[in-house]
Structure 1
Amino acid sequence: MDNATGYRRSTGSPRGAARRRELLTTITDDVAENGLVDFSLRRAARAAGTTHKVLLYHFESAEDLLRQVVLGLRERRIGNALAAVASEPATLTDRVRAAWVSLRDEESELRRVLDQAMGLAMYDPGRYAALGRGASQQYLPTLMSFCPPEWPERRRFEVASMILATLRGFLVDLLTSDDGSGAEAGFEALLRAVAREEALDTM
């Protein structure tokens, strides 16, 4: 039994794990379409065609379920970016450009939900800190993989962190501005900074 909820957990069972994945996929699709604003176990249960008690059998709490949903949506974003980068030349500048196009053009629902997740983490960190805390850990390895492999790990981490923080700001600008011209102008400046970083290796 789970001490917090009084419900059993579906741990260790292949059948339970498969059911958990099925539920998570269905609920993630619902959140991607309808957002996070009124998310609850009961809404998730309706979307999955089950009951909130069944969800508590497979997930620790509403917060745990929401965290898993957001993790899955970030994986979708990362997968889209990696697919966009796959055909690009092996320069960091070109990879960042391709990743930005993927982020800029991704479905508005996905961007909206992931922005809502960060907003919840800032608005109520006591309850939703995990929604924000895991974002960098998910995104940074991908951005570090865009960097030349011969760079020291610290340098790849620093450059990837700069790119991540800057792209986050541009995504917010796209969400809140009328035409996105500021984000596009800023992105060109970011590309110049990345190109200068790459040029250090040829001096």
Structure 2
Amino acid sequence: MNRRDDLLERVTDHVLEQGLIGLTLRPVAAAIGTSDRMLIYHFGSRDALVSAVVDAATQRAIDEVDALPAAAGVRAGVNALWAAYRTEPLHRCLHVYCQAAATGLIGQEPYLSDARASNERWATALAGYLGRCGAPADVVGRIVTLVDSSLYGFHLDLATDRPEELARGVDDLARAAAGLAGA
């Protein structure tokens, strides 16, 4: 692993632990045992570092989805995906993306292009997982759109809503996704 990759891993670990909101170079550099000048040298700017961290967190989330075993059907798959969303490390990885979106980073450059690329990779991972759970190839894209947007909303609601209420809502979503799959 080269120095830049090592720094990115350590900054990503720090952000997953501490959050993305309010990230400044000097404190994060001190926390990981380097200097802000070293971060600038390897990443060019704070914006480039944040983009790289969001991308790294997305990759970690993709790796988690890729490692999920296939469930017995789309409904079970959506519910299993929700269970994974609520546990570490996927929960924190998704939280970083939500923080980036909440702070307006995702909707403007230089983050917009990076976010779109990450979203495409994320959708591909979800499609692969839901395909392994039995979603037909001709509708898996529609199912991914429904499930991805909905689960992000449920994920945000974890801060305020009761888990059992969210679980019922997720199961309703899972039934709808299974219906799209023809199950």
Asked whether the equivalents of residues 20 and 100 of structure 2 are also in contact (C-alpha less than 8 Å), the reply is yes
Q: CA deviation at 1:63?
A: 0.8
Show the counterpart of 1:62.
46
Change (3 A) 1:71 1:122: closer
Matched residues, percent identical? 27
Partner in structure 2 of residue 4 of structure 1: none
Corresponding residue for 1:31? 15
Q: What's the offset of the Cα at 1:199?
A: 2.4
Name the counterpart of 2:137: 151
Amino acid at match of 1:157: G
> TM-score normalized by structure 1?
0.75
Q: Is the 8 A contact 2:136 2:181 kept in 1?
A: no
Instruction: Give per-residue Cα distances to partners, 1:33-61, cap 9 Å, x unaligned.
Output: 11122211212321232222221221121
Alignment partner of 1:79 out of 48, 63, 69? 63
What's the counterpart of residue 79 of structure 2? 97
RMSD: 2.6
Question: 5 Å matches for 1:44-55?
Answer: 44-55=28-39
**Cα distance in 2 between the residues matched to 1:102 and 1:124:** 26
* TM-superposed deviation, 1:78: 2.5
Decide whether the 8 Å contact of 1:32 with 1:109 is kept in 2.
yes
Q: Is 1:196 matched with 2:182?
A: no
Aligned length: 179
- CA distance in 1 between counterparts of 2:58 and 2:2 reads 21
Distance 1:96 1:111, change over 3 A: same
Tell me: higher relative CO, structure 1 or 2? Use CA pairs within 8 A at least 6 residues apart.
2
Unaligned runs of 5+ in 1: 1-16
Q: Is the 8 A contact 2:105 2:112 kept in 1?
A: yes
- 1:40, 1:173 → 2: CA distance? 27
- Structure with higher Rg: it is 1
Give the superposition deviation at 1:31: 0.9
Offset at 1:87? Answer: 5.1
- Extract unaligned runs of 5+ from structure 2: none
TM-score, normalisation: structure 2? 0.82
